[in-house]
Homo-oligomer: A and B are copies of this chain.
Amino acid sequence: MTSTRGYHHGDLRRVLLAAAVEVIEESGSAALSLRDLARRAGVSHAAPAHHFGDRAGLLTALAVQGFDLLAEALHAAGTDLLDVGVAYVDFAVGHRAHFEVMFHPDLYRADDPEIRAARARSGRALHAGVAALAQARPGTRQDDAMAAWSIVHGFATLWLAGALPAGLGDDPGEAARAVTRRLFTPPPGP
């Protein structure tokens, strides 16, 4: 119970980031406030500033965390591009707070060195799937990489925005699999 705690929380940075995820998942990034996070963590309103500097600093840390979690998820998915794509969608839906912040660079310090490094790590993980495809299918071009990334990112974003029509089922990964499969097996042509 924090009432017995003095001036040293001990794990405040992690608790604040977890609280931020909770608030963003409930109400979106616009509803995030440092004072609210401080209350939820049981500390004074200025305590978060020591760990993050300011609101943008906290969101920078959240984005770094997100890019690293994404890299891990993509690595774990193996090298089949369809599996990597599904893992991307699963990540986006399972970590909607991180995902929302990651792709809104105006919310954080996009030129922060940690962000750049984390982005590079997830970028490499993303391209591992494309590299495997290029190996299996000579002739694969950069456009194919862009198409693969675009389709899974688009699907994830539309799912999270609640823009997709009903009938796709409850499993975003499975729905994404059916949709992204189209990239490789187009409808019968004329």
Contacts and interface: CB of A to CB of B under 8 A. Distances in A.
A150 interface: yes
A107 B30 contact: yes
A162 B107 contact: no
A163 interface: yes
Contacts of A182: 143-144, 146-147, 183
A161 B164 CA distance: 21
B153 A158 contact: yes
User: In the complex this chain forms, how many copies of it are found?
Assistant: 2
Given A139-B187, A183-B186, A157 B103 contact: yes
B187 A106 contact: no
Interface string A98-113: 0000011111001000
A60 interface: no
A179 B146 contact: yes
Interface in A1-51: 27-31
Interface in A47-61: none
A128 to B, nearest CB: 15
A185 to B, nearest CB: 7
